[in-house]
Structure 1
Amino acid sequence: MMITRDMYRASMLLSAAGDALGYRNQRWEYCTSGPQIHQELLELGGLQNIWVQLPNWPVSDDTVLHLATAEALAEGEAMDALWPNMAGRYVEAMKDMEGRKPGPTSILGTSQLRPGEANGHRIPFNPTATGCGAAMRAMCIGLRYPHPSELEHLICVSVESGRMTHHHPTGYLGAVASALFTAYAVQRKPLVEWGAGLMTTLPLVQDYVRAVGVDVEANLSSWTYFTEKWAWYLEERGLSNGVGPPRFPPVYSPAERDDIYKTFSLDGWAGRSGHDAPMIAYDALLGADDSWEELCSRSMFHAGDSDSTGVIAGACFGILHGLTGVPEGNYQNLEYRTRIDAAADRLYDLAWGKVRM
Structure 2
Amino acid sequence: MDSKAPSCDLYVSAMLLSAAGDALGYRNQLWEYCKSGPQIHGELEELGGLPKIGVSLPDWPVSDDTVLHLATGESLATGKMNVDLYHQLASRYVAAMTDMEGRKPGPTSILGTSQLIPLHPDGYKIPFNPSATGCGAAMRAMCIGLRFPRPSELSLLVSVSVESGKMTHNHPTGYLGSLASALFTSLSVQRVPLEQWGVRLLETLPLALDYVRSTEADVGPHLEAWDYFRESWERYLTERGLLQGSGPVVFPSLYGAAERDLEYGRWSLDGWPGRSGHDAPMIAYDALLGAGSSWEELCRRSMFHGGDSDSTGVIAGCCWGAIHGLSGVPKGNYSALEYRERLEAVARSLHELAWGGH
TM-score, length of structure 1 as denominator length: 0.99
Are the counterparts in 1 of residues 5 and 355 from structure 2 also a CA contact under 8 Å?
A: no
The alignment's C-alpha RMSD in Å is 0.7
1-side partners of 2:350 and 2:290: how far apart? 29
Where does residue 143 of structure 1 map in the other structure? Answer: 146
How far does the alpha carbon of each residue in 1:303-345 deviate from its partner, in whole angstroms, 9 at most, with x for none? Answer: 0100000000000000110000000000000000010000000
1:154 matched to 2:162: no
Are the counterparts in 2 of residues 184 and 194 from structure 1 also a CA contact under 8 Å?
A: yes
Where does residue 213 of structure 2 map in the other structure? Answer: 210
How far does the alpha carbon of each residue in 1:238-287 deviate from its partner, in whole angstroms, 9 at most, with x for none? Answer: 00010101100000000000001001100100000000000000000000
Q: Structure 1: which 4+ aligned runs deviate by more than 6 Å? A: none
Where does residue 126 of structure 1 map in the other structure? Answer: 129
Where does residue 110 of structure 1 map in the other structure? Answer: 113
Where does residue 337 of structure 2 map in the other structure? Answer: 334
Q: Give the partner amino acid of 2:40.
A: I
Where does residue 247 of structure 1 map in the other structure? Answer: 250
Corresponding pairs, count:
355
1:303 matched to 2:306: yes
2-side partners of 1:212 and 1:87: how far apart? 17
How far does the alpha carbon of each residue in 1:41-90 deviate from its partner, in whole angstroms, 9 at most, with x for none? Answer: 00000111000000000000000000000000000012121111110000
Tell me, which stretches of 5 or more residues in structure 1 are unaligned? none
Are the counterparts in 2 of residues 257 and 302 from structure 1 also a CA contact under 8 Å?
A: yes
1:262 matched to 2:253: no
Tell me, which stretches of 5 or more residues in structure 2 are unaligned? none
1-side partners of 2:342 and 2:212: how far apart? 33
How far does the alpha carbon of each residue in 1:201-223 deviate from its partner, in whole angstroms, 9 at most, with x for none? Answer: 00111011111134311111100
Q: Identity of aligned pairs, percent? A: 68
The Cα of 1:353 is off from its aligned counterpart by 1.1
1-side partners of 2:190 and 2:138: how far apart? 20
SS in 2 for 1:151: helix
Which of 292, 295, 301 is the aligned partner of 1:292? Answer: 295
Where does residue 11 of structure 1 map in the other structure? Answer: 14
Where does residue 170 of structure 1 map in the other structure? Answer: 173
Matches within 5 A, 1:54-133: 54-133=57-136
1:41 matched to 2:44: yes
2-side partners of 1:222 and 1:265: how far apart? 16
Where does residue 275 of structure 1 map in the other structure? Answer: 278
The Cα of 1:2 is off from its aligned counterpart by 4.5
SS in 1 for 2:117: coil
Where does residue 190 of structure 1 map in the other structure? Answer: 193
SS in 2 for 1:341: helix
Are the counterparts in 2 of residues 125 and 215 from structure 1 also a CA contact under 8 Å?
A: no
How far does the alpha carbon of each residue in 1:71-110 deviate from its partner, in whole angstroms, 9 at most, with x for none? Answer: 0000001212111111000000000000000000000000
